[in-house]
Copies of this chain bind each other. A is one copy, B any other.
Amino acid sequence: MSCASVVSRRLEDADVTVLEAGGHISFAACGMPYWLGDEIPGDEDELVVVSPEEARNERGIDVRTETRVTRVDPQARTVTFETADGQGSLSYDRLVLAPGVEALDPFGCSQLANVITLRHLDDGIEAKALLEEHEPETACVVGGGFVGIETAEALNRRGIETTIVQSSDTLLDRMLVPELGEKLNERVQAAGIDLETNARAQDVLSENGRARAVELPEGEVSGDLVVVAVGARPRTELAQEAGCRVGDHGGVVVDEAMRTGVDDVLACGDCVAYPHKVTGDDVVMPLALHANRSGRIAGETLADNEAAFPGVLGTAVTRFEDLEIAATGLTVEEAEQAGFEATAATIESVTRAGYHPDADPIHVRLVAEQSTGRLLGGQILGGPGSGKRIDTVASAVWMGATCEDIEGMDLAYAPPVSPTWDPVAIAARITGRGVDG
């Protein structure tokens, strides 16, 4: 929809058609866990950014929901689709593929009545109905990534006895070093959520068409409700059939203007791979900002304007109750995989002046190139206000700053919002000690 909206603005005479398999178009996927937990009140319309009616009436876009594209023919320049009324087809001058991702379901259980995955608004609506109508007492969440943790918090808020099954020792293990992940584990457990760590779910066990438990290598976790949150993969089938290249990363390969290499076929959103700003490698990173940005760029390209996708750092933030967790750039492992020799340090500071009664601990970890001190990434975990401080780190990584640059920066201080020396600057000072020379 970002793309369609740009095109409809830029090319007033163009016929812009959007074919959507589901019932909704532009919606706030990341808001669903908060809506399930009633932190965001109201019905599902709260999460709708643009409704099909608004897109039609205000932007002149021919939006067709419940319309599943089944085939793309780039030679004939046609798209074939299915609706409840049967098959149809459309011809195009230019085509944009933006089918997004689908939630992974290694257990083949997503059709069971009491199993939730959270990717599309229809998933969220179904999940909320399940919660409100069946009032489950116990839930098992498979996966301790963003979606798993946020959903577990929502279920816990609703008074449901919740267990998270995580394959590694700590939650958010792909973005947080274990010493920080351990602090998140503790907080989640303190909130009354059970953690089964170092436990790879083997299967979802069912009975009479309903999930009843998650099978672990040793024992099982039963639940009136099972949430499968083990990741997502780009939907690339249509693109592949149309002759677009799909990389080892699993995403559609595009250039910086979102062109696929097939004549007049572009792709954007969660289904494509983006170039990493630090490593230069293409990565699959289904996050809202990039989907939105790549859509806009595809729109500009369609309108023959120059636009280039600037890259990603993998910046991400979430919150468990009042603990904020964020990361950007590379971990030490990722840095080493990318050929950097890396040094890193983790510091503990406070979110406000130490004498302020609302000061909370904040932990900052920075990763730098050992030979130059150039910042490669960072991780933050701490009390209210900690999460968005990752943007200071992201901005610095983006601009190629060194630890010395960051230590010297004039960052903001006032007792109610920061200690005199900003925690990121302190982390830069300590990390800098590991830099050569």
The interface of chain A, by Cβ under 8 A from chain B, is: 28, 30-31, 34, 39-41, 46-47, 277, 287-290, 292, 310-319, 324, 326, 328, 353, 355-357, 384-385, 387-392, 394-396, 398-401, 405-418, 420-422, 424
Chain B neighbourhood of A384, CB < 8 A: 384-385
**Judging by beta carbons under 8 Å apart, are B391 and A412 in contact?**
yes
- The 4 residue pairs across chains A and B that have the minimum distance between CB atoms: A310-B408, A399-B399, A317-B412, A313-B410
Q: Are B328 and A30 in touch, CB under 8 angstroms?
A: no
CB–CB B395/A401 < 8 A: yes
Task: Give which listed residue, B288, B407, B416, contacts A413 with CB less than 8 A.
Answer: B288
- Complex Cα spacing A312 to B311, Å: 30
Instruction: Point out the residue from B317, B385, B406 that lies within 8 Å of A388, measured CB to CB.
Output: B385
CB distance from A321 to the nearest CB of B (A): 10
Contact: A319 with B414, CB < 8 Å? yes
Closest to A404 in B: B310
Once the chains bind, are A34 and B398 in contact (CB under 8 Å)?
Answer: no
Q: Which of B39, B277, B400 contacts A410 (CB 8 A)?
A: B277
Question: Once the chains bind, are B411 and A289 in contact (CB under 8 Å)?
Answer: yes
27 CB < 8 A contacts A-B? A31-B353, A31-B355, A34-B415, A34-B416, A39-B416, A40-B357, A288-B413, A289-B410, A290-B410, A310-B408, A312-B410, A314-B410, A317-B413, A317-B418, A324-B417, A326-B412, A385-B385, A388-B388, A392-B395, A394-B411, A394-B412, A395-B399, A395-B409, A395-B411, A398-B409, A399-B399, A399-B400
Report the Cα distance A418→B315, complex, angstroms.
13
Given A31-B353, A34-B356, A46-B355: A317 touches B417 (CB 8 Å cut-off): yes
Min Cβ gap A127→B in Å is 16
CB-based contact A414/B401 at 8 Å: no
Would B394 and A391 count as touching, CB distance under 8 A? no
C-alpha gap A416/B417 in the complex (Å): 18
Distance A290 CA – B398 CA, assembled complex (angstroms):
25
Instruction: Determine if A422 and B391 form an interchain contact, defined as CB atoms under 8 angstroms apart.
Output: yes
Q: Is the CB of A28 within 8 A of B415?
A: yes
| Docked complex Cα distance between A55 and B278 (Å) | 45
CB-nearest residue of chain B to A35: B355
Contact status B417-A355, CB under 8 Å: no
Q: Is A413 in contact with B28, judged by CB distance below 8 angstroms?
A: no
Nearest CB of B to A117, in Å: 19
Q: Which residues of B contact A40 (CB under 8 A)?
A: 355-357, 415
Chain B nearest Cβ from A158, distance in angstroms: 17
Q: How far is the CB of A308 from chain B (nearest CB, A)?
A: 9
- A407 to chain B: closest CB distance in Å? 8
Q: Are B391 and A424 in contact, with the CB atoms below 8 A?
A: yes
> Which residues of chain B have C-beta atoms less than 8 A from A405's C-beta?
398-399
B401 & A355 in contact (Cβ 8 Å cutoff) = no
In the complex, what's the smallest C-beta–C-beta distance from A309 to chain B, in angstroms? 8
Choose among A30, A355, A414, A416 the residue with the greatest number of B CB atoms under 10 Å from its CB.
A414
A311 and B420 in contact (CB under 8 A), knowing A40-B356, A355-B28? no
How long is the Cα–Cα vector from A39 to B357 in the complex, in angstroms? 8
Contacts of A421 in B (CB 8 A): 289, 292
User: Chain B nearest CB: distance from A271 CB in Å?
Assistant: 18
Contact of A319 among B39, B318, B417 (CB under 8 A): B417
Decide if B390 touches A412 in the complex (CB within 8 Å).
yes
Q: Which residue of B lies closest to A409 (CB)?
A: B398
Chain B residue at minimum C-beta to C-beta distance from A420:
B288
Q: How distant is A121 from chain B, measured CB to nearest CB, in Å?
A: 13
Which residues from chain B contact A414 at a C-beta distance below 8 Å? 30, 316-319, 387
- Count chain B CB atoms within 10 A of each CB in A289, A389, A407, A412 and give the residue with the most: A412
